Chains A and B, each alone.
Chain A
């Protein structure tokens, strides 16, 4: 049964501490004069689906990169699970329970779907290299147990038919789904989704929206969603933050943001054709 599958497979996903899951406090990030993020603050709590919207180049991916430690903001503070992570290495932040997907797919192309997902389990595989080399008992057992977890994710994301395929061979829409699976395999406490529906057709977008809804319901983890498809954002988000040129313009409930003059102007202010169509069809 779908309603229990994921929660049973990933008992260590989610967080039961108190206080906000993640707190971003006035962060600033610039690249040689370009202010990518310019004074952004927000909080995300457990169970919350927090969306960040904004025109192309607004700084959404840069915020993700600050959160996951790829970039170190020049100013501001970030706390994850109550701890400052501004000086924490990316792999450490990941193993604390921050998982993400990428705007441009970052799967391991020479690995199978299974191995990509098993790699997501990396921090949960608690055996050493000697055990790995001898492979009796411990390593064998831990691998098999985690394979169970990965199978549950494969079933949840309906990836059964491609589990042994090499990722490079798969169509784009499936790759996006595998990436979501790999992030789920990390048993996340916070899940960052960077344009999960980008480049997808209507049906694929609906599937993706359904998966995100199910993850929210079954795991109750906090999520930050960056997405240009406003229908997805309006349907799924609890809170929306709109930014432009790295600056926050508005924060609130999806309906409020949809009607906010500044947000509409920010989108219209961009002569970019793609953004305009997004604007017309979605807002």
Chain B
């Protein structure tokens, strides 16, 4: 084989999706995802489905980020809620108008800049926060990062509650950044080429585009030199170092990129509802992201997306399965759980949390590779159907 043809064949071999079935299935999936809103919009609760999917796409970006540090680089982080908060408030401060008090003083900071500025800025500020914390977080091995990031979530929650000029304060909150680019508003119903497009449809498609871009960037990262270094540190730290991998540098890099992804999620997440409550960034939010990554599959980009879809759509699925309020009724019948006042003993939010916990444990024990692992098994079952050769 000549020098040149070998060169090109290696290039082809290391392509992002090397096999034909992979590429065809991916194309089918993306086309389906693009067409879905045209169908959903005709459902009675189509708007809420569209919003849920858009939310899941944004959450998937954060889950990919968490998977980069935890799944690929093997460092457990509980800090996702903090970095999502940093991203959310960076975006909102830059991307929404200032609010003035009656006496003309600034009540809420705001610069009303366009999305092309607030979105990358949210990622970069979150990444910078990650880089600042990294030297403390990686001073010791093991679960030290988990402890440091746990503390971070509490510090963050406190700051977000009390920095009212930025967050509006508890019970009041503030508007999220405006979803507009080059003068085009994504957060309003509009008409394109004579077709009516709803606000929810636009948001769905916009978030889908962001997810696809961020997923491709992540996939490229993990099949590069840096991705190999992350996995090497995770699997055999000392050997990795003896191969020339600087562990501190690569842990910091993974953490910074992970925080960047969380920042982007924070920036986008609240534009869907248009509003940010400063109590949103609790440990529970971090745990939801851990659940996405564990349930979806550690060290898998596709798994992160599956996990996010699963967790975000879970409440809706529970409602579907239990026909809405039926769940509260059932809980009321269980002896000892019923309360005097006739209030349901567990709200659906609490049931959701319990389910998270149960699912995380179940997946860790039964299917450590997560939904992605289940998918791989199904795929192997079908071999390369219908492209087998």
Contacts and interface: CB of A to CB of B under 8 A. Distances in A.
A133 interface: yes
Interface in B1-56: 3, 6-7, 10-11, 14, 16
A90 B226 CA distance: 18
A283 interface: no
B366 interface: no
A132 B226 contact: yes
B243 A186 contact: yes
Contacts of A95: 244
A111 B236 contact: no
A134 interface: yes
Interface stretch (B86-94, B193-201, B245-253): B245-253
A122 interface: yes
Given A91-B247, A151-B6, A119 B232 contact: yes
Interface in B59-97: none
B124 interface: no
Interface stretch (B167-175, B216-224, B262-270): B216-224
Given A125-B225, A144-B14, A148-B7, A110 B242 contact: no
Interface string B197-219: 00000000000000000000110
A81 to B, nearest CB: 15
A94 B239 CA distance: 11
B243 A94 contact: yes
B271 to A, nearest CB: 24
A70 B236 CA distance: 14
Given A102-B239, A140-B11, A148-B6, A91 B228 contact: no
Contacts of B218: 133
B314 interface: no
Interface centre among B217, B229, B243, B246 (most CB of A within 10 A): B243
A143 interface: yes
B238 interface: yes
Contacts of A91: 241-247
Contacts of B16: 135
Contacts, number: 104
B241 A94 contact: yes
B228 A110 contact: no
B235 to A, nearest CB: 5
A239 interface: no
A118 interface: yes
**Most chain A CB within a 10 A radius of its CB, from B235, B236, B244:** B244
B232 A70 contact: no
A228 B365 CA distance: 44
Contact of B235 (A70, A102, A110, A143): A110
Nearest to A136: B220
Interface string A100-125: 10100011111100010011101101
A111 B221 CA distance: 16
A120 B243 CA distance: 6
Given A70-B238, A108-B239, A134-B220, A119 B229 contact: yes
A31 interface: no
Interface of A is mostly: helix
Interface string A130-150: 001111000110011101100
A95 B246 CA distance: 10
A149 B270 CA distance: 49
A135 B225 CA distance: 11
Contacts of A132: 220-221, 224-227
B70 to A, nearest CB: 16
A147 B217 contact: no
A72 B257 CA distance: 33
A127 B225 contact: yes
A181 to B, nearest CB: 12
Contact of A144 (B11, B224, B240, B242): B11
Contacts of B221: 129, 132-133
Contacts of B257: 129
B225 to A, nearest CB: 4
Nearest to B214: A133
Contact of A182 (B217, B243, B245): B243
B231 interface: yes
B14 A147 contact: yes
B235 A108 contact: yes
Nearest to A192: B242
A94 B244 CA distance: 5
Interface in B369-387: none
Contacts of A145: 7
A231 interface: no
A134 B228 CA distance: 16
Contacts of A151: 6, 10
Interface string B337-360: 000000000000000000000000
A90 to B, nearest CB: 5
A134 B14 contact: no
Contact of B224 (A143, A147, A186): A143
Given A70-B242, A122-B229, A139 B14 contact: no
List 9 tightest A-B contacts by C-beta distance, closest first.
Answer: A132-B224, A94-B244, A106-B239, A123-B244, A95-B244, A135-B220, A133-B217, A125-B225, A147-B10
Interface of A: 68, 70, 89-92, 94-95, 100, 102, 106-111, 115, 118-120, 122-123, 125, 127, 129, 132-135, 139-140, 143-145, 147-148, 151, 182, 186
Given A70-B238, A108-B235, A133-B217, 17 more contacts: A89-B246, A90-B241, A91-B241, A91-B243, A102-B239, A107-B239, A108-B232, A108-B236, A111-B235, A127-B225, A129-B224, A132-B220, A133-B218, A135-B16, A143-B224, A147-B10, A148-B6
Interface of B: 3, 6-7, 10-11, 14, 16, 217-218, 220-221, 224-229, 231-232, 235-236, 238-247, 253, 257
16 contacts: A68-B242, A70-B242, A91-B244, A106-B238, A108-B240, A119-B229, A119-B243, A119-B245, A122-B244, A123-B244, A133-B220, A139-B224, A143-B14, A147-B14, A148-B6, A151-B6
